[in-house]
Chains A and B, each alone.
Chain A
């Protein structure tokens, strides 16, 4: 477990360093994810090593958003007079984006014959 955690943190650290050094517009952990994916693809030993720890972390991914969510409650007043407009914009645009994205996926999958086997 400790080796897997070390490797995950090393990937994150490398990702943060790359982002800082090259000024990428993405967060370090996203680069770290790409790096770990490349390492797993290169070595089944690494893939099997990391898998159980990663799956444990991801099983409770929701928990990790709780502290940030609590922070938002205190800042809801910041929305001020525009609260209603912003709430409507978020609700409607999120619904539209989900449906548009999912329908596009299904339609293009049908066109390109990449339906799920």
Chain B
């Protein structure tokens, strides 16, 4: 009988193992989230990421090897973003009716997200070149990377800060908006999409379809707005 290490090293060469384990980790995370009635801290992404990080660490697998399998899942982010047109279409009459509050909340949310992050980070002694990577953190990763590079920041650091922001938003949104007594699903969704891009939008879809649709709108519009406001606000801090 061949020993486990041989089988493992054979399987670990192809993308199948890590693709499968990504799905297994997500299904496990989703089951745990379900079992806790989707308690905010039992976030399926956070659980899956933690499980996989531990597995990579134990098996001493480099991220590049993991990504050969996980890339098939990662690739679907693009088509899924395009697919956000569907909730947008289904909600278009409600969106048209709410266009003024949507644009107002977008402007306020976007400026507060960039401005308060830079203010706090600078007050705590963060250097200017790191601030450039922090400024676009509420927008979706490809946009944030582009903005950070344009401002002289680091693309890798920008991507890390974007993901951390998304997970933070997904974790805090529900208890925070309950405490703030916001009952309008449109307002809740839009604010989360603006502040916490796709990861916040994914969370909003778990909570309510209207919140999900408005989060998708917030994420899409904030991608455009952050590209315009982030450089201006950063200039105030330099």
Cross-interface CB contact of B85 among A5, A27, A33, cutoff 8 Å: A33
Report yes or no: A28 in contact with B78, Cβ–Cβ below 8 A.
yes
Chain A's interface size range is 35 or more
For the complex formed, measure the closest distance between the CB of B42 and the CB atoms of chain A, giving whole angstroms.
12
Report yes or no: A104 in contact with B86, Cβ–Cβ below 8 A.
no
Name the prevailing secondary structure of the B interface residues: helix
Interface string of B64-107 (1 = CB under 8 A from A): 00110011011011111111111111101010011111101111
Tell me the residues in window 14-68 of chain A with beta carbons closer than 8 Å to chain B beta carbons: 15, 25-30, 32-37, 40-41, 47, 50-51, 53-55, 57-68
| B side interface size, CB within 8 A | 116
Report yes or no: A89 in contact with B121, Cβ–Cβ below 8 A.
yes
Known: A66-B26, A94-B169, A98-B109. A57 touches B180 (CB 8 A): no
Report yes or no: B190 in contact with A105, Cβ–Cβ below 8 A.
yes
B residues within 8 A CB of A11? 82, 85
Tell me the residues in window 14-36 of chain B with beta carbons closer than 8 Å to chain A beta carbons: 22-23, 25-26, 30
Asked whether any CB of chain A lies closer than 8 Å to the CB of B176, the reply is yes
B227's closest neighbor in chain A, by CB? Answer: A25
Known: A41-B92, A66-B70. A36 touches B184 (CB 8 A): no
For the complex formed, measure the closest distance between the CB of A7 and the CB atoms of chain B, giving whole angstroms.
9
Asked whether any CB of chain A lies closer than 8 Å to the CB of B53, the reply is yes
Asked whether any CB of chain B lies closer than 8 Å to the CB of A1, the reply is no
Bound CA span A59–B218, Å = 18
A residues within 8 A CB of B143? 25-27, 30
Question: A interface vs B, CB < 8 Å?
Answer: 5, 8-9, 11-12, 15, 25-30, 32-37, 40-41, 47, 50-51, 53-55, 57-76, 78-79, 82, 84-106, 108-109, 112, 114-117
28 contacts between A and B (CB under 8 A): A12-B78, A26-B143, A26-B223, A30-B223, A32-B81, A33-B84, A33-B220, A37-B88, A47-B86, A50-B83, A57-B80, A58-B205, A62-B26, A62-B206, A65-B198, A66-B26, A66-B73, A68-B141, A72-B163, A85-B125, A97-B116, A101-B187, A103-B187, A108-B104, A108-B105, A112-B100, A114-B99, A114-B101
